[in-house]
Structures are given as C-alpha cells and as structure tokens.
Amino acid sequence: MPSTRPIVIAHRGASGYLPEHTLEAKAYAHAVGSDFLEQDVVLTRDGVPIVLHDIHLDTVSDVARKFPGRHREDGRFYAIDFTWDEVQQLRASERFQPATGKAVYPGRFPVNQSRFSIPSLQEELEFIAGLNFSTGRTAGIYTELKQPRFHREAGQDISKIVLDTISKTGWDRNPSQVFIQCFEPIETRRLKSELGCRMPVIQLLGEDKWIELVKAGRVTDLEKELEQVREYADGVGPALGHLILSREPDGFVRTSPLVEAAHKHQLRVHPWTIRADDLPKQVTSLDELHDVLFTQLGVDGAFSDFPDLTVHFIHDLKRG
C-alpha cells in the first residue's frame, strides 16, 4: 500500500476558495478533479441530517442575527436546537470568529459576502450525483458522523439516519465511491457490527494516545492499537501532527512510523488537512508538505482545502 494513485479528498469542498460545505464549494471541488468530496454531518431538532462541520451554527452563518436569544447558556447556537425549516432561513458564510466577526482565514472568501446556504445531506448527495451524471466524471463522497454520542444523548441516532440517507439517494449501490468516517471508536465499531455498513469505514484519530505513541516511537504499542482498529475499520484518518514530527537543523523532516505500521495491517491512511495558507511549522512550502505526505510517507490519500493544488501535485507525481 498504496497500490494505486493516492486520492484527493476535498476537505469541506474547495473550502480554500469558497465557504465550507456550501454546494458551490462542492461544485468547484468536483470541477478541479477531486476524487472524493467530504460531508460533515449533524442533525437538526427534527432529525434532518445537514452538512455542517460543527454542532454549532454560529461560526458559519447569521444565526445570531436571525434568531437572537436562541443560544444556550454557553452562548452557542446548536444546530440540534433548530428545525430544518429554520436552518433553511440562514445565510451561510465563510468561517469567522463569533466574538469578533473576523475571518478565521483572512485570505479566503470574504465573510458574509454573496449568498450561500447550508444544505441537507440529501440535497448534497443528489447534487454530487447530478454533477457526476452531467460531467461524466465520477467523484465519490466521504461522510463524517459528527459527535454521535452528543446526538444519542439528545435522542437521535445519527449513524442510522446518515446510512439511511446514503441508501435513499442510491450511493450505497457503489460502496467503493463512499467512505464513512468518525472519531468515536464505539460508533465506528457499531457501523458494521450493528448497522450492517458495507462501505469502507475510516477511524479518525483524535485521542491523545496516538500522539503519545508516535512521538515516543513506541512502534510495538502502535501496531497493537492499529491491529484492534483493523477489526472494525478499513483505514485511519490521522492529523498531520501524527505524521510530521519535527524539522532537523539540516532541513530533514522527521516523520512518524504510523503510515508504515498502518499499511502493515492493511489499513489505508488518509491524513488531514492540507492548507496552503496554514502549513505545519515543520515544512516550508506546500510542495514540501505534498512531497512528505505522498512521496516520503506514501499515504493513500489526503484531505485538502485546496484540492486543485493537491490534484496537480498528484498528477505530476504520476507523470514523473
């Protein structure tokens, strides 16, 4: 592994150019040749799955202006407190800091400019299928279940609802064009053992233990953990920090053994997130980051906010 060309996963769509998770961001990502388009999914109060990175609405919409007073004690506006009809009234925006209104990434699409909306999962999956049909070019979907435990405590089964939506829109008929990802191991296990998921499942790595293992170079313990993951998942989704550890004085980028260990257990590795405007401190350029991931480490794919640039690198790599 990897036995084929690495895949490019458009992180929240082409979010380096257009507001994340809008249909416009997905259309651009599709047009530049992304292999998969990502959907983060949360639920509304009436159980409608919507494409939104957080369980909160206030960092990417005008919810505070449209529905003042609907925040919780912590000051946040939770998607699960709003109906789908209410969410459709919101205007989506480039990500910003709720306290200041300033953009998280100042060089990207201007905050609160133009008109965008928050799509339902069904809308987005139908939209991507439509693009595949009209262009004759197939892009897959890469869907994340956001905080299943949070939703379960609110009386909602997000995993079942998402899988039902994928089935309803026909995407389950071609499992190779779908990935399901989640940070919570209990839920990731449940996908196949209880819900009968036939699509590839990716265990996202967010727990501190993974950082501790790779930084300490505890390869034996790392392999034991990955062996357990292989019982229920088809791959892992590490952060860049799990893979890129330091830059030596001579410029050599020191990396972790995680990719090699994962491949030993037949697990695919899809790290997150490549950002041209927010590079890890251990690299000096986007080309170097691409080179470390795809040439030095041999990852099977990666999430990118700038999928056109990553696609271009992969194509050049293939030609080389």
Residue 154 lies in a domain: yes
Q: Determine the residue type at 49.
A: P
Residue 1 lies in a domain: no
**What's the pLDDT tens digit per position in 289-307?**
999 999 999 999 999 999 9
Q: What is the DSSP letter of 103?
A: B
Band of pLDDT at residue 3, cut at 50, 70 and 90: low
Where in the sequence is the domain holding 274, given as residue range(s)? 7-319
Catalytic, 270? Answer no
Residue 299 lies in a domain: yes
Q: Which of 30, 53, 263, 270 is catalytic?
A: 53
Does the pTM surpass 0.75? The reply is yes
The token pair at 287 is: 């080309």
> Phi then psi for 178, rounded to 5 degrees?
-135, 135
Catalytic, 11? Answer yes
Residue 29 lies in a domain: yes
Band of pLDDT at residue 320, cut at 50, 70 and 90: low
Contact call for residues 181 and 201 (beta carbons, < 8 A): yes
Residue 96 lies in a domain: yes
Band of pLDDT at residue 318, cut at 50, 70 and 90: confident
Q: Which pairing describes strands 301-304 and 201-204: parallel, antiparallel, or unpaired? A: unpaired
Band of pLDDT at residue 55, cut at 50, 70 and 90: very high
Residue 315 lies in a domain: yes
Q: Helix, strand or coil for residue 165?
A: helix
Q: Which pairing describes strands 36-43 and 140-145: parallel, antiparallel, or unpaired? A: parallel
If we measure between CA atoms, which residue out of 251, 187, 188, 245 comes closest to residue 212?
245
Predicted confidence at residue 2, as pLDDT, reads 47
Mean pLDDT across 253-280: 98
**What's the pLDDT tens digit per position in 5-36?**
999 999 999 999 999 999 999 999 999 999 99
Residue 2 lies in a domain: no
**What's the pLDDT tens digit per position in 72-125?**
999 999 999 999 999 999 999 999 999 999 999 999 999 999 999 999 999 999
Residue 216 φ/ψ region, left for φ over 0, alpha for ψ in the -120 to 50 degree band, beta for the rest = alpha
Number of domains in the chain: 1
Q: Which of 11, 30, 71, 242 is catalytic?
A: 11
Q: Determine the residue type at 306.
A: F
Residue 93 maps to which CATH number? Answer: 3.20.20.190
The mean predicted confidence, pLDDT, of the chain is 97
Residue 98 lies in a domain: yes
Write 64-69 long-range contacts (CB < 8 A, 24+).
64/98, 66/90, 66/91
